[in-house]
């Protein structure tokens, strides 16, 4: 099928396949059980498929949307066989992802129509936020871009230390203050330093807690406002990092953060250690925010640009 032609490099594709192995095995196993003994797609098959999708962390609302689309196709072809269900499901999920993830990128890139390009990263502690920032810095630097990190998660000494480790590893400058400092002050200093250095990309870490939605909203709003005093219109991107292995809990985190600030893109991490990769489909659909990056392993190269066609291809890949 030409729609699913390979556009990733072999190495990246193998990494993606490996990272989604648990999700794929779990999903295809459930799918095969859902159609056992059936020759055509009927109400029983659709009911079973609904259960498979929900139990694969696709989410109820997104599942119902997929089922409705398949029902519409079944109604046109009364004799649709179960052997075609895999292909149809694959097409409908790709179509659903295409509504939010309109691009077809395969490489890390930012717009440099205005410098620096500022990414504010949000997400709760433990989701892989700092690691994602470090891996992004590595990818951007690899392209020859000048990157500056800002340690504005000042409520945990460990957060500052962890970001410093990544800054040292990638060999990029970091702006930080002492634990307990005003996060907005760190963001201000980071942008000021980046402008002086003629940096291309600035990545700002922020506090990873959901202790109080109002406080979180006020803090993130203040960080934005202060950054805009240095570079008008910043941040260019607010990236929410979610842990894919938490399944439905990731939906709740997305709900809280999208209420607290205007999230423009998503990174879903830790997909390699879970069978809950279906959460990528549901979150992208329910929040209408593009998934920009996915984490499919612990290696520095295992943060990938999310490509909807390659993701679906790996999700349904049935090769041994």
**What is the rounded average pLDDT of the residues 162-170?**
97
| Amino acid 35: pLDDT | 82
Please determine, for residue 249, whether its predicted confidence score (pLDDT) is greater than 70: yes
Of 96, 91, 102, nearest to 316 by C-alpha is 91
CATH of domain 117-306: 3.40.50.300
Tokens matching residue 252? 């709740």
pLDDT band at 317 (very low <50, low <70, confident <90, very high): confident
**What is the rounded average pLDDT of the residues 226-236?**
95
Binding-site residue ranges for GTP = 123-130, 205-209, 269-272
b (16+ CB within 10 A) / e for 27-64: bbebbeebbeeeebbeeebbebbbebbbebbbbeebbe
Question: Lowest-confidence range among 8-22, 146-160, 263-277?
Answer: 8-22
CATH architecture of the domain with residue range 8-99: Up-down Bundle (1.20)
**What is the rounded average pLDDT of the residues 171-181?**
94
Question: Lowest-confidence range among 78-87, 201-210, 217-226?
Answer: 78-87
| Amino acid 1: pLDDT | 38
Q: How many CB atoms lie within 10 A of CB 208?
A: 19
Residue range 283-296, pLDDT digits in tens: 999 999 999 999 99
Please determine, for residue 151, whether its predicted confidence score (pLDDT) is greater than 90: yes
Q: What is the 3-state secondary structure (H, E, C) of the chain?
A: CHHHCCCCCHHHHHHHHHHCHHHHHHHHHHHHHHCCCCCECCHHHHHHHHHHHHHCCCCHHHHHHHHHHHHHHHHHCCCCEHHHHHHHHHHHHHHHHHHHCCCCCCCCCCCCCCCCEEEEEECCCCCCHHHHHHHHHHHHHHCCCCEEEEECCCCCHHHHHHHHHHHHHHCCCEECCCCCCCHHHHHHHHHHHHHHCCCCEEEEECCCCCCCHHHHHHHHHHHHHHHHHHCCCCCCEEEEEEEHHHCHHHHHHHHHHHHHCCCCEEEEECHHHCCCCCHHHHHHHHHCCCEEEEECCCCCCCEEECCHHHHHHHHHCCCC
**What is the rounded average pLDDT of the residues 265-291?**
92
Q: Would you kindly state where each structural domain of the chain is located, as residue ranges?
A: 8-99, 117-306
**What is the rounded average pLDDT of the residues 86-114?**
86
Please determine, for residue 39, whether its predicted confidence score (pLDDT) is greater than 50: yes
| Amino acid 188: pLDDT | 97
CA dihedral 134, 163, 192, 224 (to 10 degrees): 80
**What is the rounded average pLDDT of the residues 19-27?**
90
Question: Lowest-confidence range among 20-29, 103-112, 155-164?
Answer: 103-112
Binding-site residue ranges = 123-130, 205-209, 269-272
Please determine, for residue 45, whether its predicted confidence score (pLDDT) is greater than 60: yes
Mean pLDDT rounded to a whole number for the chain: 89
pLDDT band at 208 (very low <50, low <70, confident <90, very high): confident
pLDDT band at 211 (very low <50, low <70, confident <90, very high): low
Name the percent of the chain lying above pLDDT 90.
54
Which comes out higher in pLDDT, residue 23 or 214? 23
Which comes out higher in pLDDT, residue 115 or 156? 115
Beta bridge partners of 74: none
């Amino acid at each position: 099928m030409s729609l699913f032609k390979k556009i990733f490099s072999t190495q990246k594709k193998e990494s993606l396949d490996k990272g989604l192995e648990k999700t794929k095995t779990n999903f295809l196993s459930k799918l095969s059980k859902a159609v056992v003994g059936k020759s055509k797609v009927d109400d029983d098959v659709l009911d079973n498929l609904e259960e498979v999708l929900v139990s694969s962390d696709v989410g109820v609302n997104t599942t119902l949307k997929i089922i409705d689309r398949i029902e519409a196709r079944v109604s046109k072809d009364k004799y649709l066989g179960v052997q075609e269900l895999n292909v149809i499901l694959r097409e409908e999920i790709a179509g659903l992802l295409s509504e939010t993830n309109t691009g077809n990128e395969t490489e890390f890139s930012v717009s440099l129509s205005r410098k620096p390009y500022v990414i504010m990263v949000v997400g709760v502690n433990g989701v892989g936020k700092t690691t994602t920032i470090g891996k992004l810095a590595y990818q951007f630097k690899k392209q020859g871009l000048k990157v500056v990190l800002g340690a504005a998660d000042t409520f945990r000494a460990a957060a500052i230390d962890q970001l410093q480790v990544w800054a040292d590893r990638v060999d990029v400058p970091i702006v930080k203050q002492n634990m307990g400092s005003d996060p907005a002050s760190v963001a201000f200093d980071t942008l000021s330093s980046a402008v002086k250095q003629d940096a291309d990309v600035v990545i700002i870490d922020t506090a990873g807690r959901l202790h109080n939605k109002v406080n979180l909203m006020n803090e993130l709003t203040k960080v934005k406002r202060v950054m805009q005093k240095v570079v008008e219109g910043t941040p260019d991107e607010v990236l929410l990092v979610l842990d894919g292995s938490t399944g439905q809990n990731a939906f709740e985190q997305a709900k809280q953060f999208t209420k607290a600030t205007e999230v423009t893109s998503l990174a879903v991490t830790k997909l390699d250690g879970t069978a809950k990769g279906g959460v990528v489909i549901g979150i992208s659909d329910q929040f209408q925010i593009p998934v920009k990056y996915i984490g499919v392993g612990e290696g520095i190269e295992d943060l990938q640009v999310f490509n909807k066609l390659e993701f679906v291809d790996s999700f349904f890949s049935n090769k041994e």
